[in-house]
Amino acid sequence: MRMNNKLGVFLLGLTALALLGAGMARAEDQLDAETKARIDKYEQGPATIDVSKYPQGIQDNYGTFSQKCAQCHKLSRPVNCDYALPDEWSRYVKRMMHKPGSGIDSADGKKIYEFLTYDSSVRKKAMLDDKLAKLSADDKAAAVAKIKEVHDKYDNK
């Protein structure tokens, strides 16, 4: 009886793992050709960011980002993608947090959001300015305030 229980738990574990694996594979399979081509292109770019000139707290958050966001795909995917606005990042970080097995809690999610928002305002400044210019005055003011909030929290600290 004891043995059977152990075997049962073991088999249950295996099934859960298999389902999780299948779920992840399916998530990638279901992408349409256009999205797949776009994502493949991101992944061919650099897989690291030079954070040596960023404030210490942002460098620490880069550690969380590079660990948590390279579990299912290459880190080069988020490094080279064309998101730059704070709202694009909060939406995407949430979307990734909710994928099965992400292991990203809300504290990690916040650090990653802050890292990506800060990084976009420096490394992707041209892209960010372009996106800001296309927003309505209200949305632009809100985005600028969110970027400033992250800088105020980390700069010169």
The nearer residue to ligand HEC, 95 or 125, going by C-beta atoms, is: 95
Question: 9 vs 48, which CB is nearer to ligand HEC?
Answer: 48
Give ∠ CA 41-46-48 in degrees, rounded to 5.
135
Cα separation, 14 vs 60, in Å, equals 35
Tell me the two tokens of residue 9.
Answer: 């738990």
> At residue 2, what is the residue type?
R
Binding mask 77-96 for ligand HEC (x = CB under 6 A): xx--x----------xx-xx
CA distance 78 to 86: 14
DSSP 2-22: HHHHHHHHHHHHHHHHHHHHH
Distance, in Å, from the CA atom of 17 to the CA atom of 20, rounded to the nearest integer, reads 5
Stretch that binds ligand HEC, among 7-15, 55-63, 97-105, 132-140 (CB under 6 A): 97-105
Residues of this chain, 30-69, that bind ligand HEC according to CB under 6 A: 31, 35, 38-39, 68-69
Cβ of residue 33: shortest distance to ligand HEC, in angstroms? 13
Q: Which of 46-54, 98-106, 137-145, 148-156 is the region at the interface with ligand HEC (rule: CB under 6 A)? A: 98-106
Nearer to ligand HEC, 8 or 101 (CB): 101
